[in-house]
Structure 1
């Protein structure tokens, strides 16, 4: 629970997404970082873009210092209700057509049906050309 027992939903936190009122969710805790926007070394846009979602990965990927982590305590306003987060969808790759050996045979037959008559025609033209010039 928060310092004063407050538990927020993701929707509650999502409503605080402006430079005048900016809240973040990091490691299950809610922080009001409005007063820190101007001082944030990465700029206010970084913080504003992390509103309305779990910003834990964004925070951890940057590799914040121990002093930066300690500074978070002064912005702490409560806990997040994890049941209010949308469930993560598992990526399911599209179904690939099953390789059918029989289809490959059909394809080869169709190619041969095209090329064999073409080769016979080419051979006939070549024979005609060479026999005519004698």
Structure 2
């Protein structure tokens, strides 16, 4: 049976000499892999102190990468130990914008660019 770790315990392993990450509710001790990681050690160090599943999946890791990862498996995460969501940001991790804010920005920015272009055209024609 796999050892089960609390979020607090896993989060305390967050340095180059002791680096653990959480991906898909599994805990990996990637300390010895930091120098070999193709994306650099910073990527793994930034993945500490949170559930790094989304980051891992977004990077599009290959089947080979997933097999390599299994060498570093040390146990499971107790998902009930994750901190409750608060409005206070986690140090070192920038929050993602909300979907609504992103949709608004995708509309506002192009409209603003067109507006500036129209103003420039009027200015040039007046000269």
Task: Report the TM-score range of the alignment, normalised by the length of the smaller protein.
Answer: 0.5 to 0.7
CA distance in 1, matches of 2:14, 2:39: 17
Distance 2:70 2:38 in 1: 18
1:44 to 41, 44, 68: 41
Unaligned runs of 5+ in 1: 94-134
Q: Which runs of 5 or more structure 2 residues have no equivalent in the other structure?
A: 88-97, 101-127
CA distance in 2, matches of 1:70, 1:61: 17
1:73 aligns with 2:70: yes
Q: Give per-residue Cα distances to partners, 1:8-46, cap 9 Å, x unaligned.
A: 001000110000000000000000000000000000000
The count of aligned residue pairs is 89
How far off its partner does 1:89 sit?
Answer: 5.9
Q: What whole-Å deviation, never above 9, does each CA across 1:63-108 have from its counterpart, x for those lacking one?
A: 00000001111000000000011234697x9xxxxxxxxxxxxxxx
In 2, Cα distance between equivalents of 1:83 and 1:41: 32
Tell me, yes or no, if structure 1 residue 63 matches structure 2 residue 53.
no
Q: Give TM-score scaled by structure 1 length.
A: 0.62
Q: Could you say what the CA RMSD is over the residues aligned between the two structures, in angstroms? A: 1.9
